[in-house]
DNA sequence: CAAAATTAAATTGTGTACAATTCAATTTTT
DNA sequence: AAAAATTGAATTGTACACAATTTAATTTTG
């Protein structure tokens, strides 16, 4: 009458997916107290990273870079606009497109964020080399996944 | 009058955090079509993995295992209950505690899920060894983060 | 034992994710 | 050029995450 034990492949601790999911949320949690003084959430910070790197992208270009769709980005960008960090403007030549530009305040915020990466590296207790290796493995995995899926 | 270029540490592609975040969402996306026939979302699947491994946990025990709080778990468990996969019951001896048990349907679902891990491994194109190594690095990172933070 | 403190879930509120639909603007076809 | 197809955002609806508060039950204290 004893139940079958769960097969090994279904054990939580065996799952790469859960290790990823847990690590991602943990790291986001590390950012939270660092971003709070800047008035940013973690996904908002990612948008700012992209814009600091190259200002004046469209919503869909931001979406390609971050792998997020307009259902996520539109309200997020409206909040950044509300915080005075970006401007959203429909393009004259093609009214379908919305260009996102940093405001002065948005650009200025970069300086306040510049210490964050080092702070994170400290907390994670990884050497620069370990960090790069792990990052590149994860990138490879992501690329692999985005290549293979159900071709239609 | 040219703007300063963004410092290297703030480049999106340099960020371990984004590699993690993107990889985690990609992997979740891989699960989606596999879980859909089972009527599960990815976080619901994680809850089921835990219960298949050990049935009859409390909400907070589930929370410890998955690092999720009642704000996430309570509605999620209600949906699993609505789907007939688990039962939620306040404990007689301590009415504060809610025990979560698999229903017969919930247990039976395990068989339908048993092929998923192998399917995932295929998609990710990683050897068993590579998967384990990456998984263990991520676990170490998560553990490290959860040890160090602001001690209060 | 009664008041205070603690505990476990649930609730509330904000902010993502993401599928699916809608809507308006532009291109492509005929 | 008008109809059809396509495109880019926005909207809608569902389901997490997670902080903060609330509620009820149990323990601990005085």
Q: Give the residue among A85, A109, A105 at the shortest CA–CA distance from A35.
A: A109
Q: Does A105 touch chain B (CB under 8 A)?
A: no
Instruction: Report if CB B103 to strand C is under 7 Å.
Output: no
- Pairing mode, strands B98-102 and B57-58: antiparallel
The mean pLDDT of B64-69, rounded to a whole number, is 98
Mean per-residue pLDDT over chain A, rounded? 95
CATH architecture of residue range(s) B26-114 = Orthogonal Bundle (1.10)
The β-bridge partners of B58 are: B99
CA atoms within 13 A on the CB side of A149: 14
What is residue B147's predicted lDDT score, i.e. its pLDDT? 86
Contact across the interface for B65 and A12, Cβ inside 8 Å: yes
Hey, is A89 helix, strand or coil?
strand
* Cβ separation B139–A15 shorter than 8 A: no
CA B152 to CA B142: how far, in whole Å? 19
The per-residue pLDDT for range A17-62, each reduced to its tens digit, is 999 999 999 999 999 999 999 999 999 999 999 999 999 999 999 9
B62's enclosing H/E stretch is: helix B59-66
pLDDT digits (tens, 9 = 90+) for A77-112: 999 999 999 999 999 999 999 999 999 999 999 999
Nearest CA in chain B to A10: B49
Domain A30-113, second-level architecture: Orthogonal Bundle (1.10)
Q: Which chain A residues touch B131 with a CB distance below 8 Å?
A: 16
With an 8 Å Cβ cutoff, are A49 and B11 in contact? yes
pLDDT, mean of residues B30-34? 97
The reply to whether the CB atom of residue B77 sits less than 7 A from any atom in nucleic acid chain C is yes
Q: What is the mean pLDDT of residues A108-131?
A: 95
- Mean pLDDT, residues B59-69 taken together: 98
Task: CATH 1.10.10.10 in chain B: give the residue spans.
Answer: 26-114
């Amino acid at each position: 009458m004893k139940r079958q034990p769960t097969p090994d492949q279904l054990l939580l601790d065996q799952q790469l997916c859960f290790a990823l999911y847990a690590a991602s949320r943990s790291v986001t949690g590390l950012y939270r107290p660092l971003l709070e003084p800047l008035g940013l959430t973690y996904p908002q910070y990612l948008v700012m990273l992209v814009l600091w790197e190259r200002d004046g992208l469209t919503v869909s270009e931001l979406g390609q870079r971050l792998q997020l769709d307009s259902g996520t980005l539109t309200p997020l960008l409206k909040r950044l606009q509300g915080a005075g960090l970006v401007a959203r403007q429909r393009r004259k030549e093609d009214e379908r497109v919305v260009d996102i530009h940093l405001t002065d305040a948005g650009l200025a915020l970069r300086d306040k964020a510049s210490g964050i990466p080092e702070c994170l590296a400290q907390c994670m207790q990884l050497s620069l080399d370990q960090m790069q290796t792990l990052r590149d493995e994860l990138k490879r995995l992501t690329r692999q996944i985005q290549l293979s899926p159900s071709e239609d």
